């Protein structure tokens, strides 16, 4: 069986709708992208953020994308040629690691990453590398979530009559999985909250924090391309073992976070039952979700 690439379940067409275009335009204004000659995207995947921001860059600008998956880099190169070849922007995608970025010092006016720091063992090391390739006075930008927040959100009014003990049991599992993942050196899924602290520790200055205004909602009728892609993605997750989650991996995280197998197995059985209910609701176009999330945009300057 072919080995799965990182974040494969999140890099489908639905990802193109992670941001409101007018909000990206506002971010481009805040980050002075119109004066940005060189932008670097670390952990670029298929190149999405570089492509999105490049439309606000001046003619003759350069976008670099770096990712450790050769397959994603190949797709980004193909997309640069087929979709963006008419742009007055030069795109260059490289295979490389975030802890050893294959670019010279002081390359970029803006160096950014999206949902990268949550997956790395040593985010401080990655931030230092992002600083290294950024010009003095340039911006380092991280777009990172708190992924625990949605566990306290409700989809339907009926869910507001919740059982406190049952909800606390689920929260304990989620917290232990997150803690265990970090203990095993695989990152911290809710790192977004602490990026300003990491930026200050790295010596970055003038730290600014914003929050994305995008909600990934699914509200009947499922009559737009965005909704249909999101529903299709959810159905693919439902068809996987358990909404994209692997039993063995999550059991390992849970145990590393101080949990025991019996409690995890009880949680897993409920998850399997819930996914059957979710699939039926999606297929009948009855599933409703406001789709709230908490994604930070943290930007700071490299000292001159």
Domains and CATH numbers, the chain: 1-146+189-214+293-303 (3.40.50.150), 148-185+218-288 (no CATH)
Q: Which two tokens stand for residue 1?
A: 């069986």
Predicted local distance difference test score (pLDDT) of residue 9: 55
Predicted local distance difference test score (pLDDT) of residue 10: 57
Predicted local distance difference test score (pLDDT) of residue 237: 86
Q: What is the secondary structure of 232-292 as a DSSP string?
A: HHHHHHHHSSSTT--HHHHHHHHHHTT--HHHHHHHHHHHHHHHHHHHHHHHTT---B---
pTM (two decimals): 0.93
Predicted local distance difference test score (pLDDT) of residue 92: 97
Predicted local distance difference test score (pLDDT) of residue 122: 97
Q: Which two tokens stand for residue 179?
A: 């803690």
Q: How many CA atoms lie within 13 A of 269 on its CB side?
A: 5
Predicted local distance difference test score (pLDDT) of residue 246: 86
Predicted local distance difference test score (pLDDT) of residue 1: 42
On whether the CB atoms of residues 47 and 93 are closer than 8 A, the answer is yes
Neighbouring residues of 219: CB distance < 8 A, sequence distance ≥ 6:
227, 288, 289, 290
Predicted local distance difference test score (pLDDT) of residue 3: 53
Predicted local distance difference test score (pLDDT) of residue 175: 97
Which of 62, 303, 107 is CA-nearest to residue 202?
A: 303
Predicted local distance difference test score (pLDDT) of residue 16: 87
Which mean pLDDT values do the consecutive 10-residue runs of the chain (304 residues) have? 54 84 97 97 97 96 97 97 89 97 98 97 98 98 96 94 95 96 96 98 98 96 95 88 76 96 95 91 96 96 97
On whether the CB atoms of residues 294 and 153 are closer than 8 A, the answer is no
Predicted local distance difference test score (pLDDT) of residue 261: 97
């Amino acid at each position: 069986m072919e080995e799965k690439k990182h974040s494969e379940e999140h890099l489908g067409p639905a990802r193109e709708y992670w941001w409101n275009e007018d909000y990206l335009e506002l971010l481009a204004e805040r980050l002075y992208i119109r004066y940005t000659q060189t932008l670097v995207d670390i952990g670029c995947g298929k190149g999405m953020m570089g492509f999105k921001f490049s439309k606000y860059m001046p003619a003759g600008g350069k976008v670099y994308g770096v990712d450790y998956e050769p397959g994603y880099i190949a797709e980004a190169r193909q997309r640069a040629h087929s979709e963006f070849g008419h742009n007055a922007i030069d795109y260059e995608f490289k295979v490389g690691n975030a802890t050893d970025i294959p670019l010279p010092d002081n390359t970029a006016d803006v160096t950014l990453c999206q949902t990268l720091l949550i997956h790395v063992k040593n985010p401080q090391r990655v931030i230092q590398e992002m600083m290294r390739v950024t010009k003095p006075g340039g911006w380092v930008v991280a777009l990172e979530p708190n992924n625990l927040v949605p566990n306290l959100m409700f989809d339907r009014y009926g869910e507001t009559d919740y059982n406190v003990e049952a909800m606390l049991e689920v929260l304990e599992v989620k917290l232990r999985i997150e803690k265990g993942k970090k203990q095993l050196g695989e990152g911290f899924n809710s790192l977004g909250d602490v990026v300003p602290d990491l930026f200050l520790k790295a010596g970055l200055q003038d730290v600014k924090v914003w929050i994305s205004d995008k909600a990934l909602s699914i509200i009947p009728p499922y009559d737009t391309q965005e909704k249909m892609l999101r529903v299709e993605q959810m159905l693919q997750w439902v068809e996987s073992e358990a909404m994209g989650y692997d039993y063995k991996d999550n059991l390992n995280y849970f145990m590393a976070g101080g949990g025991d197998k019996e409690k995890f197995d009880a949680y897993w059985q409920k998850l399997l039952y819930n996914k059957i209910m979710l699939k039926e609701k999606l297929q009948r176009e009855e599933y409703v979700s406001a789709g709230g999330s908490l994604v930070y945009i943290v930007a700071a300057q490299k000292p001159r």
